[in-house]
Amino acid sequence: MQYTFSSRADRLKPSAIREILKFTSKPGIIPFAAGNPAAEAFPTAEIAEISSRLLHDSPIDALQYSVTEGYEPLRVHLKTYLSKQHGIGRDFDELIVTAGAQQVMSLVSTAFCDSGDEVLCEDPSFIGSLNAFRASGAKLIGIPMRPDGLDLEALEQALRVAKRPRFLYTIPNFQNPTGITMSRQKREQVYALAKKYGILILEDNPYGEIRFAGEDIPTIKSLDTEGLVIYAGSFSKVLSPGMRLGYCMAPAPIIQKLVALKQTQDVHTNIWAQQVAFAFMTEYDYAAHLERIRAIYRRKATLCMEQCEKTLSPEITFEPVEGGLFLWCRLPEYMDMNRFCTEAVREEQVAVVPGNAFSVDENAPSHCFRINYSTPSDEQIVAGLEKLKRVKEKLQ
């Protein structure tokens, strides 16, 4: 049988990262290509304790169908938390609980994009989000990155010429893959441009709460006086990714539409996970938990940067990071990036992600690769970078 797929499904290739991830789960491979949060950051004892209580005291509530909007106590708590901690949420905003922030990308692009509509995004950007937009039929317009975030001139130029731009997708904190954080001034300028051109902003903030150095910068959503910003949050880095738990705060009419669409995707998010997250945020010292996680990432990032300095510099450069899970490394012009990544995995059993996996146009040339420092152990970080040094020396 030959099967004919829809044109938007036809454009979709399995995620390069997911395919690499499968390969990297082979024993012996050093997993710089993954994006897994550090396993030691999971509050496993607390989750076991909460889960045991839920399943003994009120098992039906944890196992029965629930409402699409999300577990009401969690929704109420998240609204308060976001408001107090991040100044997010106005009277016109509402909140929906989702299956990870990934589902926010899927729901928002389905809600807004007809086939051929434009989505503007940072280039490079998180491939999972780009593929969600592609799956909705959207045309991606990549905006280059500067050290302080989006290139504003390129953004305004794109807004001027786009036919039906529906939203701008951005990860302002510790962007995946570049690690770049958008400056406060640029956040204000981006919001002003959105207002001027009447375009929505989809602000994805999975790493915001694991800043381990420097000062917090207000989210774009906190500037949102006009109802232009859709904010996506995630429990994947602060609690557990396997639970698949995220949320979206946006103006109520948008949330209503996302609710109707979520009904068609999965009815509601796993209710056990929602109840565990609620109990963990309200019955334990959540602030202390975040501090503990930040210390883990601070240690691993610092180690990784020190080792990169030792082994890859000066030929291979990287921007220091203050949060997130990734280092973005740049090869010298004369070094072939794909060959570097291929040699690394084949000859040295070290997996990194080739930079073009994150490009809007995967065929555009890239001189970068991404290193993840949260998945490998400290020993693997040291050993892996020694191995990458050998690859570098071979290609010099």
Least separation, in Å, of the C-beta of 292 and a copy of itself?
Answer: 16
Least separation, in Å, of the C-beta of 394 and a copy of itself?
Answer: 32
User: Tokens representing 316?
Assistant: 């291979």
Map the footprint of a copy of itself across residues 163-202, applying CB under 8 A.
200
Give the Å distances, CA to CA, from 11 to 5, 131, 139: 10, 9, 11
Which of these ranges, 83-91, 99-107, 344-352, 362-370, lies near a copy of itself under the rule CB under 8 A? Answer: 99-107
Least separation, in Å, of the C-beta of 30 and a copy of itself?
Answer: 17
Which of these ranges, 112-120, 141-149, 353-361, 384-392, lies near a copy of itself under the rule CB under 8 A? Answer: 112-120
Residue among 144, 242, 320, 332 that touches a copy of itself (CB under 8 A): 242
Three-state SS sequence of 290-304: HHHHHHHHHHHHHHH
Q: Is 384 in the site for a copy of itself (CB under 8 A)?
A: no
Backbone angles phi, psi at 162, to 5 degrees: -65, 145
Per-residue contact flags (x/-) with a copy of itself for residues 346 to 375, judged by CB under 8 A? ------------------------------
Which of these ranges, 77-85, 94-102, 176-184, 344-352, lies near a copy of itself under the rule CB under 8 A? Answer: 94-102
| 59 CB neighbour count, 10 Å cutoff | 11
Are 183 and 148 in contact by the 8 Å Cβ rule? The answer is yes
Least separation, in Å, of the C-beta of 107 and a copy of itself?
Answer: 9
DSSP string, 311-360: HTTTTSEE---SSSSEEEEE--TTS-HHHHHHHHHHHH-EE-EEGGGG-S
Size of the site for a copy of itself (CB under 8 A): 85
Map the footprint of a copy of itself across residues 249-278, applying CB under 8 A.
251, 253-254, 256-257, 259-261, 263-273
Which of these ranges, 11-19, 77-85, 290-298, 338-346, lies near a copy of itself under the rule CB under 8 A? Answer: 11-19
Q: CA angle, corner 293, sides to 378 and 85, nearest 5?
A: 155
Compare residues 251 and 355 and give the one whose CB is closer to a copy of itself.
251
Are 86 and 245 in contact by the 8 Å Cβ rule? The answer is no
Nearest to 101 by CA among 64, 126, 82, 124: 126
CA gap 390, 395 in Å, rounded? 9
Residue among 70, 179, 241, 354 that touches a copy of itself (CB under 8 A): 241
Are 12 and 135 in contact by the 8 Å Cβ rule? The answer is yes
The residue ranges of DSSP E strands in 135-220, in sequence order, are: 139-146, 149-150, 165-170, 200-204
Give the Å distances, CA to CA, from 12 to 5, 71, 138, 347: 10, 33, 12, 30
Least separation, in Å, of the C-beta of 233 and a copy of itself?
Answer: 15
CA gap 173, 170 in Å, rounded? 9
CA gap 366, 100 in Å, rounded? 29
Map the footprint of a copy of itself across residues 211-240, applying CB under 8 A.
226-228, 236, 240
Residue among 33, 119, 120, 132 that touches a copy of itself (CB under 8 A): 132
Q: Is 395 in the site for a copy of itself (CB under 8 A)?
A: no
Are 341 and 354 in contact by the 8 Å Cβ rule? The answer is yes
Least separation, in Å, of the C-beta of 287 and a copy of itself?
Answer: 21
Which of these ranges, 128-136, 174-182, 322-330, 350-358, lies near a copy of itself under the rule CB under 8 A? Answer: 128-136
Residue among 74, 95, 119, 135 that touches a copy of itself (CB under 8 A): 135
Least separation, in Å, of the C-beta of 254 and a copy of itself?
Answer: 6
Per-residue contact flags (x/-) with a copy of itself for residues 23 to 62, judged by CB under 8 A? -----------xxxx-x--x-x--xx--xx--xx--xx-x
CA gap 146, 23 in Å, rounded? 32
Q: Is 296 in the site for a copy of itself (CB under 8 A)?
A: no
